[in-house]
C-alpha cells in the first residue's frame, strides 16, 4: 500500500551521448503541488515528459497509481495519459486551425464524447479561466496570455488527476503569467489534481508544496 500517485525509481534517459537523466528517484502524492527547478539543460523537461509517460526512459521504473508505465502497451499508456493527465507546455501548442473552444474540446472528442456535450464542457472551462469570450477565436489571434489560458483549459477539461506543466508561464509577462498561475492553482484546488511544474521562476516555485532541484541529470 502506498499513497504515492507517481513513483520514479533510478530513471535514466539519454539522447545519443547526452545523459539527460542519470538515475532520478522521486515520489509524488495525490494532490501535491511540486515544482521542478534547476539550471538550463539539467534535465527538467526530460523528467517531466518521462513522468507523464510521453518519453520512455531506458532504465529505471515509473509507476502511476501502482501500475508500471512500462508494463502498459502504447495504446494503454495513451489512454491513461488522456484520462488521467493534463499537459501544458511553454507555448501552449494549440492546434492553429481550430478555434479556442474546439481546442479545449479536443481531449473530450478523442475520448468519444458527443460533440454537444464536449462543446458545453469546454466552454465551461474557458469561462472559469476568464476566457469565455475567446471561445470562437483561432489561436493566431490570441495574445500569449490568452493562448496559455486556453491551453490550460484544454489541460483541465478532462479533470485530470495530474497536471504536468513545463514552464507554463515562461513566454508571458509577469501579469499574464501570474493570472495563468492563479487559474492553474485554483483549478487544481477545486479538482484535487496534483501539479508537477517545471519552472525557473523562484516565485512560482515558492507557491508549490515542495521543490526539487535538478542538477546534471540528478536531483540535487
Angle at alpha carbon of residue 54, lines to 126 and 61, rounded to 5°:
130
Beta bridge partners of 200: none
170 lies in the site for ligand ATP, by CB under 6 A: no
- Closer to ligand ATP by CB, 104 or 204: give it: 204
C-beta separation of 81 from 155 below 8 A: no
- Closer to ligand ATP by CB, 45 or 63: give it: 45
- Closer to ligand ATP by CB, 60 or 124: give it: 60
d(CA 44, CA 39): 9
15 lies in the site for ligand ATP, by CB under 6 A: yes
How far CA 26 is from CA of 81, 127, 133, 187, in Å, comes to 19, 35, 40, 24
169 lies in the site for ligand ATP, by CB under 6 A: no
Q: Which three cell numbers stand for residue 52?
A: 507523464
Least distance between ligand ATP and beta carbon 180 (Å): 18
Considering only 45, 50, 169, 199, the residue that binds ligand ATP (CB under 6 A) is 45
Query: Minimal CA–CA distance to 48: which of 207, 199, 156?
Result: 199
Considering only 42, 50, 148, 169, the residue that binds ligand ATP (CB under 6 A) is 42
- Closer to ligand ATP by CB, 56 or 189: give it: 56
44 lies in the site for ligand ATP, by CB under 6 A: yes
Q: Of the ranges 15-23, 58-66, 150-158, 177-185, which one interacts with ligand ATP (CB under 6 A)?
A: 15-23
Q: Is 74 helix (H, G, I), strand (E, B) or coil?
A: helix
C-beta separation of 50 from 62 below 8 A: yes
Q: Which residues bind ligand ATP (CB under 6 A)?
A: 15, 18, 20, 38, 40-46
Amino acid at each position: 500500500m502506498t499513497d504515492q500517485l507517481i513513483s520514479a525509481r533510478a530513471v535514466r534517459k539519454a539522447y545519443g551521448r547526452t545523459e539527460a537523466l542519470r538515475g532520478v528517484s522521486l515520489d509524488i502524492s495525490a494532490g501535491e503541488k511540486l515544482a521542478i527547478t534547476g539550471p538550463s539543460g539539467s534535465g527538467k523537461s526530460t523528467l517531466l515528459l518521462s513522468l507523464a509517460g510521453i518519453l520512455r526512459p531506458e532504465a529505471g521504473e515509473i509507476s502511476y497509481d501502482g501500475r508500471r508505465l512500462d508494463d502498459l502497451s502504447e495504446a494503454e499508456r495513451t489512454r491513461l495519459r488522456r484520462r488521467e493527465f493534463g499537459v501544458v507546455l511553454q507555448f501552449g501548442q494549440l492546434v492553429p486551425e481550430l478555434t479556442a473552444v474546439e481546442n479545449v474540446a479536443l481531449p473530450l472528442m478523442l475520448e468519444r464524447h458527443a460533440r454537444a456535450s464536449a462543446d458545453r464542457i469546454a466552454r465551461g472551462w474557458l469561462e472559469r479561466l476568464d476566457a469565455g469570450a475567446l471561445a470562437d477565436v483561432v489561436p493566431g489571434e490570441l495574445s500569449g496570455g490568452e493562448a496559455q489560458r486556453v491551453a490550460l483549459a484544454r489541460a483541465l477539461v478532462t479533470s485530470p488527476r495530474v497536471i504536468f506543466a513545463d514552464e507554463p508561464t515562461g513566454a508571458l509577462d509577469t501579469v499574464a503569467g501570474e493570472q495563468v498561475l492563479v487559474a492553474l492553482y485554483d483549478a487544481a484546488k477545486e479538482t484535487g489534481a496534483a501539479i508537477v511544474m517545471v519552472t525557473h521562476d523562484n516565485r512560482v516555485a515558492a507557491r508549490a508544496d515542495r521543490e526539487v532541484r535538478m542538477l546534471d541529470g540528478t536531483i540535487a
